[in-house]
Amino acid sequence: MLAAAGIYAINNHWMRMKEDHENAKLLAKGLEDLGFRLTQRVETNQVWVSSSSLLSPPPLSPHRPLGSAVFSPYASRRPEETAGKRPIITFDEMSEFLSARGFILPAGFDSARLVTHLQTPRSSILRLLQLLHHYIALRRANL
């Protein structure tokens, strides 16, 4: 069954798969800018990400533009610096927040696989990143 889906994609969507891969890289970059840690290099349309680097809650302004340096200080932490610490934000919590706003995010503790595809326009990725930025800022402000 999975092979059939792959064959269909190659036969019918080969020319636009590059767009999916570019969207995945956009998503990955945006997540890193927000302080998430990529757990695998982005080579296809899949983004493997962890929220374990969302520690030490400095207040963030929900009005600061994406890509600002304020979002990246925790993305550079080494795994041994965060080992054994509970992330301040889990995918369970983000999933609940985002579902109320029309986005489906996999639930889970501190890691998830996000996939871009034919029905994932660039505008949705940008909106998702805006919502995550807002949520993280609110959570950090309430600690």
Kindly report the CATH number that applies to the domain delimited by 19-141. Answer: 3.90.1150.10
What was the pLDDT predicted at 89? 82
141 Rama sector, left if φ>0, alpha if ψ -120 to 50, beta otherwise: alpha
Side-chain-side CA neighbours of residue 11 (13 Å): 6
What was the pLDDT predicted at 90? 86
What was the pLDDT predicted at 10? 82
SS3 of 20-84: HHHHHHHHHHHHHHHCCEECCCCCCCEEEEECCCCCCCCCCCCCCCCCCHHHCCCCCCCHHHHCC
- pTM equals 0.74
What was the pLDDT predicted at 143? 65
Which residues neighbour 2 within 8 Å (Cβ) at sequence distance 6 or greater?
none
What was the pLDDT predicted at 71? 33
What was the pLDDT predicted at 139? 86
Length of the chain (residues): 143
**Extents of the domains making up the chain:** 19-141
What was the pLDDT predicted at 74? 36
What was the pLDDT predicted at 140? 81
What was the pLDDT predicted at 25? 97
What was the pLDDT predicted at 83? 55
Burial 64-85 (b: 16+ CB within 10 A, else e): eeeeeeebeebbebeeeebeee
CA distance 105 to 93: 10
What percentage of residues in the chain have a pLDDT greater than 90? 45
Residue 125's CB is within 10 A of a number of other CB atoms, namely 19
Give the chain's residues under pLDDT 50: 56-79, 82
What was the pLDDT predicted at 76? 39
